Structure 1
């Protein structure tokens, strides 16, 4: 069970690293326009770029936190730290689904919830 939980947490971390990449380094791309359901011209606005880079940084911190909790923290502490970072992602997904797009709860929240349950059961 621990292996499956670890794999799921790594997948959530990879998802958030990809979000980081998209928001920080590719925010004005066609992929970003499609992903965020926004016109590409709006994504080129410097204010929007700054906001996306900020969001991307937070997603990166969540991903690194998950990976740190899995591979760097002492074995006795990994479960609690991993659950904390997954809970942060879940809260962000709920908030994002209410304020930005309902699909966030499925795209980001569901994988984090599955990972949370699997880690909790370890």
Structure 2
């Protein structure tokens, strides 16, 4: 796989590991409040923290899937598995943009799209 494609895919995974950390372990912070456009008092509710923790876990699975595809999956299947997980990120970004915040399509979807194209062309 070309170096640029691999670097971009790793950056997408890193972004989703950051989201995992923010949603699972720092959901009631001022940073999370700004990032998600949600009042901090709402983020401090146990039910909301649980929901954010669940979302964070899913973001972590996407990140691990991308990293797994790059570093564990045999070379013959690596490209296909990487494309699958990047496509999952793009679908999640489209859904999130339609239901939660329009910025998700740019913040999460665009890097995944760029990585997808680079991996596909590599």
TM-score normalised by L of structure 1: 0.99
Q: What's 2:22 paired with?
A: 22
Q: What's 1:6 paired with?
A: 6
Q: Residues 5-39 of structure 1: CA distance to partner in whole angstroms, max 9, x if unpaired?
A: 00000000000000000000000000000000011
Q: What's 2:35 paired with?
A: 35
TM-score normalised by L of structure 2: 0.99
1:1-122 matches, cutoff 5 A: 2-122=2-122
Question: What is the aligned length?
Answer: 122
Q: Distance in 2 between the 1:38 and 1:50 partners? A: 15
Q: Distance in 1 between the 2:62 and 2:39 partners? A: 27
Q: Residues 64-109 of structure 1: CA distance to partner in whole angstroms, max 9, x if unpaired?
A: 0000000011000100000000000000000000000000000000
Structure 1 residue 118, shift from structure 2 partner: 0.2
Q: Distance in 2 between the 1:15 and 1:46 partners? A: 25
Q: Distance in 2 between the 1:24 and 1:91 partners? A: 21
Runs of 5+ in structure 2 lacking a partner? Answer: none
